[in-house]
Structure 1
Amino acid sequence: MDKKLRGPVIMSVTLVIIGIVVLIILNNQLLTDDVSVNNPMINEVESSNETLDLKTIIHNAEKSVVQIEGQNEQNTKTGSGFLYNGKGDIITNAHVIKDADVINVRTANGHIYPAAVVGTGEETDIAVVRVPQLADQSALTLEEDTKAETGDEVIALGSPHGFQNTVTLGIISGTERNFTVDGFNYENAYQISAQITEGNSGGPLINRATGHVIGVNAVGTSDGTIGFSIPSNEIYDQVTSWSNEAKNDQLDFKNTNDITRTESPEQLAEDAEYVADYFFESISIRDYVGAYTLLGSAMQSAESYPDFREGYIHYVDLHYSDFKSDVSEDNQVKITAEVTAEVKQQEEEGTEEKQITYTLTIDRENDQLKIMQISTDE
């Protein structure tokens, strides 16, 4: 071989050999090392498939669902509604407030507020009313684009026959239903197996998987076996436009100064029992903040939130019986409940079952029902 060619040839062969060795080493390393995938999209898909706890969904939704009473000289029409933004705006059905001279909104804690109409559909059975006092309160998320499919599990909340915050479970049993009732056109409505009866109208239809509102419950069949709900994506733009355009100083809160509470002792006891039920339910799902907010100012001044929480954090499980209510002449309600609690032992492993008699004294403070005193007897 020519001496002039020998050097380049040797160098080329050397480089080839080095390249082969490097490839072998890299290949062996790939075979033995674990492959780590960091893909945000995968994480997002995995987290979105987590099913929310049913009891938590219902508990959180009940804070935002209200009962609506549309009154005129002839009668009172009762329906439901729900908060959907931070302005105190409530979505309901147009037929609930149609021809109403005065609109009252009753919240979960029994407080009654006057409401003003923000917008109402002429052919679409949707309306929005506003209660400024409920601004920045807990609101439900209204789905803008999501379209439900047949078989999706749903939760319907409302006040059928005046029973506030009644929950019905079901599925989407049909889609794209079109019909007309009392001059309102229902287009692409969801057909649901959850019952929609008198008082349910205007309540939210909630997706079981996400906890978000996918529809507004509207009408049902006379036998109560089938209900229909207006899809949220069909009305999202309209209700949002109404809310954005409305100014409080331009709204008509009809007869605000003339509205008085005329609730009977039976109604007061029912409202107080709802507060008590909400208190115990909050404790059972460890929503101590929610339970603490139900206490009157005197109780909150006497006991800080950390101390309050410490008193219940050892409850592993809690069950309670039907309430016994006693309404005094000054409209103070005493509610007695028999509670069975599984209490975690602080120094020992395991739990101990305790039978505890709770007595809650409930009264109005700043026109809201609050727990003024809690006493227990083991």
Structure 2
Amino acid sequence: MDKKQRGPIIVSVLLVAAGMIIWYVMYNVWQSNPVSVNNPTINKVESNTGSLDLKSIIHNAEKSVVQIEGQNDEKTITGSGFLFNEKGDIMTNAHVVKEADVINVRTANGHIYPAAVVGTGENTDIAVIRVQQLANQNTLTIEKGIKAEIGDEVIALGSPHGFQNTVTLGIVSGTERNFSVDGFNYENVYQISAQITDGNSGGPLINRGTGNVIGINSVGTNDGTIGFSIPASEIYEQATTWSNEAQNDELDYKRADDISASDDPEQLTEDAEYVADYFFESISIRDYVGAYTLLGSAMQSANTYSDFREDYVQYNNLDYSELSSTVTEDEQVKTTVTITAETKSPDEKETKQDSMTYQLTIGHENDQLKILDISKSGKD
């Protein structure tokens, strides 16, 4: 082999050897550094795998849902509504308030306030009322740009037949329904399987997956098997326009002094038991702030929030029986309830089931029902 042939062969061998060395180095780098794949689709699926707790959704929503009583000389119309902005504005149905001379609003913690009409629809069954005392309180989030689809799970809240904050579950069973009732045109409304009846009108329809409002419950069939809800996305803009144009000094409020406590023992008992039920529901969901706000001023002065929370934070899986109440001569209500809960030993190594009986004294303070005293007995 002459020198001319030997040169190209040597170059070829060197190139092959260099390529093998480079490949070997890169292979070792790949093995020591795992490949990371950034897939937005996978990330989105993983972030939505968690489901919001149903009990938490309901309890948080109840804080913003109110019972509405529209009164005139002939009748009282009971409906529902929910806070949707920081001004104390409540979205409801026009048919709940359109004939009312006086409008009272009852909140989840048993307080009663006067309301004024901010705006009402002529053909659309939508209205906005304002309660100044509810400004900067808990509000519900409205899904403004999203339409519900058939099969979506929903939660309907309201006060059917005066039973405040009643909850019904169902699905969206139809969309784009159109009809007219009592002079109102309902267009592109949701048909839902959750029951809607007298008193539900104006309450929120909540998406089970997000906890946000997607509609306003408005109409139900006579047998209660089918309900209809106006999509919130279609009326939010109108409601916001009314709210922005309304000035408090131009609104017609009923004077707060005109609201007095009912002297009907049955009504007083019902209202007091509602406060007690809300108190223990708040404890069970670990909403200690909500429970603390139900205490009267004397109890709050004697117990800081930290001390109050310490008394109940030890309870897990709290459950309670039906309430039993008696009305005293001074128009206070003594409500007794037995609760069961799991508690841990001081070293947190053992868990046991405890049973306790609570008696709540509930009465009026500044025209609002408050828990004036709490006593406990019977710990096993």
Residue 346 of structure 1: aligned partner: 346
The farther-off stretch of 310-319 and 260-269 is 260-269
Tell me the percent identity: 71
RMSD of aligned Cα (Å): 2.6
CA shift in 2, pair 1:311/1:255, >3 Å: closer
**CA shift at 1:76, angstroms?**
1.1
Residue 154 of structure 1: aligned partner: 154
1:1-378 to structure 2, matched below 5 A, reads 18=18, 21-37=21-37, 43=43, 45-254=45-254, 257-262=257-262, 264-347=264-347, 349-378=349-378
Q: Deviations over 1:287-337 (max 9, x none)?
A: 222222222222222222222222222212211111111122222111101
8 A Cα contact 1:82 1:139, kept in partner: yes
TM-score normalised per structure 1: 0.92
8 A Cα contact 1:103 1:116, kept in partner: yes
**CA shift at 1:24, angstroms?**
3.6
CA separation in 1, counterparts of 2:156 and 2:226? 12
CA shift in 2, pair 1:18/1:296, >3 Å: farther
CA shift in 2, pair 1:147/1:49, >3 Å: farther
Q: Structure 1 regions of 5+ residues with no counterpart?
A: none
CA separation in 1, counterparts of 2:16 and 2:237? 67
CA separation in 2, counterparts of 1:72 and 1:18? 96
8 A Cα contact 2:299 2:373, kept in partner: yes
CA separation in 2, counterparts of 1:248 and 1:199? 27
**CA shift at 1:122, angstroms?**
0.6
8 A Cα contact 1:109 1:368, kept in partner: no
TM-score normalised per structure 2: 0.91
8 A Cα contact 1:87 1:130, kept in partner: yes
CA separation in 2, counterparts of 1:174 and 1:325? 44
CA separation in 1, counterparts of 2:24 and 2:290? 63
**CA shift at 1:219, angstroms?**
0.4
8 A Cα contact 2:261 2:367, kept in partner: no
What amino acid maps onto 2:322 in structure 1?
D
CA shift in 2, pair 1:185/1:296, >3 Å: same
What amino acid maps onto 1:222 in structure 2?
N
The farther-off stretch of 344-353 and 98-107 is 344-353
CA separation in 1, counterparts of 2:158 and 2:340? 29
The farther-off stretch of 336-345 and 348-357 is 348-357
Q: Deviations over 1:123-146 (max 9, x none)?
A: 110000000100011111111011
CA separation in 2, counterparts of 1:127 and 1:8? 91
CA shift in 2, pair 1:235/1:20, >3 Å: farther
Q: Deviations over 1:75-104 (max 9, x none)?
A: 111111011111100000001111211111
8 A Cα contact 2:154 2:172, kept in partner: yes
CA shift in 2, pair 1:44/1:309, >3 Å: farther
Q: Structure 2 regions of 5+ residues with no counterpart?
A: none
What amino acid maps onto 1:320 in structure 2?
Y
Q: Deviations over 1:32-69 (max 9, x none)?
A: 53334567775555333421111111111111111111
The farther-off stretch of 254-263 and 98-107 is 254-263
